[in-house]
Amino acid sequence: MGRRKIEMKMVKDSSSRQVTFSKRRTGLFKKANELATLCAAQVAIVVFSPGGKPYSFGHPSVEVVAERFLNQDGKRRVSIPGQVVDQSQGEAKVGRLGRQLNTVLTLLQAETKRGEVLNEAIRESRRKLKHPKPIKELDLDELLEMKESMEEFHENVRGRVSEIEASYSLLLLSNIVVKQA
């Protein structure tokens, strides 16, 4: 069967119309892309399906082409996604964004240096430990040794707490005696 000329009239059946629309839309967008590529043309196409859903194709974008079409008075405008502004407003916004970027980059450098200092402090404190390796990397003997060290440390802390409590009690008693005298 081959290709044959199709008479140009509206397709009556709604499902056939939708299929025809989808195929023709794809072909139309391909041709627009070829035109933009081969001729370095700026192209924008907006089509609405039989159901009312919009489809668009644009090179470089629909917004840029539409802005150029609508703004043919010669006054240059800059397109920022979501808005269109005069050139001077665009330059001011770019300058403000540049300053914000520099501020953020300065903060990032400061935080990076801070992170390096903290990492070095962690490495240094690990070197001073009896067990410099992370717990997950210790074998059974090292874990038992660490347990003994922790129990010894716990006893030392308990002893120090007892000393502090005794000193505090003596201090309270001496304050009571001084107030009565």
Q: Residue 171: what pLDDT?
A: 83
Check: CB of residue 46 under 8 Å from CB of residue 82: no
Instruction: Encode pLDDT of 83-142 as tens digits.
Output: 555 556 666 777 788 888 888 999 999 999 999 999 998 888 777 776 667 778 888 888
Which of 37-51, 60-74, 75-89 shows the lowest mean pLDDT across its residues? 75-89
What CATH number belongs to 14-70? 3.40.1810.10
Q: Determine the Cα–Cα distance for residues 149 and 142; give it in Å rounded to an integer.
A: 10
Average pLDDT on 4-8 reads: 83
Q: Report the percent of the chain where pLDDT is more than 70.
A: 84
Write down the pLDDT at residue 93: 78
pLDDT in tens, 75-85: 555 555 555 55
The rounded distance, in Å, linking the Cα atoms of 137 and 122 is 17
Residue 28 reports pLDDT greater than 90: yes
Neighbours of 161 (CB within 10 A): 10
pLDDT at res. 177 = 67
Which pair of structure tokens corresponds to residue 140? 């059974």
The stretch 55-78 carries a mean pLDDT of 80
| Residue extents of the structural domains in the chain | 14-70, 84-128, 133-181
DSSP 55: E
Q: Is the pTM of this model over 0.75?
A: no
Burial label for 61, CB within 10 Å (0-12, 13-18, 19+), is middle
- Please list, in sequence order, all residues whose beta carbon lies within 8 angstroms of the beta carbon of residue 69, skipping any fewer than 6 positions away: 44
The overall average pLDDT reported for the chain is 83
Alpha-carbon span 172 to 170, nearest angstrom: 5
